[in-house]
Amino acid sequence: MQHVLLAFGTRPEAIKMLPVVRALRKCGGVRVSVAITGQHRQMLDQVFEVFGEKPDIDLNLMTHNQKLSDITGLIISQMTDLLDKLRPDLVLVHGDTTTAMATAIAAFYSRIPIGHVEAGLRSYDLSHPWPEEFNRVAIDSLADYLFAPTLGAAENLDREYNRRGRIYVTGNTGIDALLHVAQQIDASTAMGANLSETVIELDSERSLILVTGHRRESFGAGFEDICKGLRKLAERDDVQIVYPVHLNPAVRDVVRARLGSISNIHLTDPVSYLDMVKLMKRAKVILTDSGGIQEEGPALGRPVLVMRNTTERPEAIATGTVRLIGTDPDRIYNEVSALLDDEVCYNERAKPVFPYGDGTASIQIANIIAESFAS
């Protein structure tokens, strides 16, 4: 049997890789192992529970306030040891995290083929998002299988001088995960009824603004401006803001200090993936700097305002559902208010659209891998 090792460490990776794990397990002649680094320890465990999966190997490499250089070196070293022991036929990584980049380097050093799920995304600015743009470019230069979510991503790859892998356009596995969980919520009265106790009880008379923010390039002045914009929004008596705050102290300490005393801003610990899908389905508007939510919001028909100046997901922008707004406080307030106050504008941008595929990306990736092993 051919052995595929999937390696990841963060919640977004787990959300987008566990559908691939499930699809590969259904392929004959393929043995599947899952190794995690624990880059998002608590949030990672929640996703495994939703998908009914467990990791086979937990390297548990994270420590408090680790530098990027520390975790990169540690993952390369520990993953190289693991790969030399297991000798899988393919290492599969996802996206643009430090775990994905360092694992790809370890596989390259060990002369093991690499597959990159969600290949070809580009902002063409190594500073935004940082260090994610560097990570994805590095992985794509090493990968043998490049699973691009869109034609645009494939075209990005096709233009690069150092590409060595074969390109496949599959759609995005995050949509597979989203549709799977959304269908479970819709089909189950018990599952869909309420958010868990980790999330504040919501006021049905107020519009819900869902906020996520954690990007490193916004540390410092960027998060100060985001907080100013949210404080101004909270002056409206027709809104409630829910912000699951990232555990990184550079985010958490600023956000809780600036927003913790405002009655209609509800700061929570990170919520489970199940609760996040429920929040997105319930939200009137989503404010985010997350890449995954730029994909998920359009599929749920929710307007998404991206608190960044660049994006590697232009397909979402082209639909009109997603808009780049940066971190300027006045623009945050004005863009959200325009959606809340203009019903025609809102309805034009609140239609479900699927620029990232139809929910079959994982099956396509699994079939490509199985067929390549058989040939």
Number of residues assigned to the chain? 375
Exposure b/e, 303-327, CB count within 10 A at least 16 = b: bbbbbbbbbbbbbbbeeebbbbbbb
Cβ–Cβ under 8 Å, residues 131 and 138: no
Establish whether 3 is a catalytic residue: no
In a 10 Å sphere around its CB, with 0-12 CB exposed, 13-18 middle and 19+ buried, how is residue 29 labelled?
A: exposed
Helix (H, G, I), strand (E, B), or coil: what is residue 81?
helix
Establish whether 203 is a catalytic residue: no
Q: Of residues 13, 118, 225, 289, which has the active-site annotation?
A: 118
Q: Of residues 11, 22, 136, 214, which has the active-site annotation?
A: 214
Establish whether 132 is a catalytic residue: yes
**Short-list 179, 156, 87, CA closest to 315:** 156
5: left (phi over 0), alpha (psi -120 to 50) or beta: beta
Establish whether 216 is a catalytic residue: yes
Q: Of residues 180, 216, 252, 258, which has the active-site annotation?
A: 216
Cα end-to-end distance, the chain, whole Å: 14
The one-letter amino acid code at 363 reads: I
Q: Of residues 94, 122, 132, 308, which has the active-site annotation?
A: 132
Hey, which residues are catalytic here?
A: 96, 118, 132, 214, 216, 246
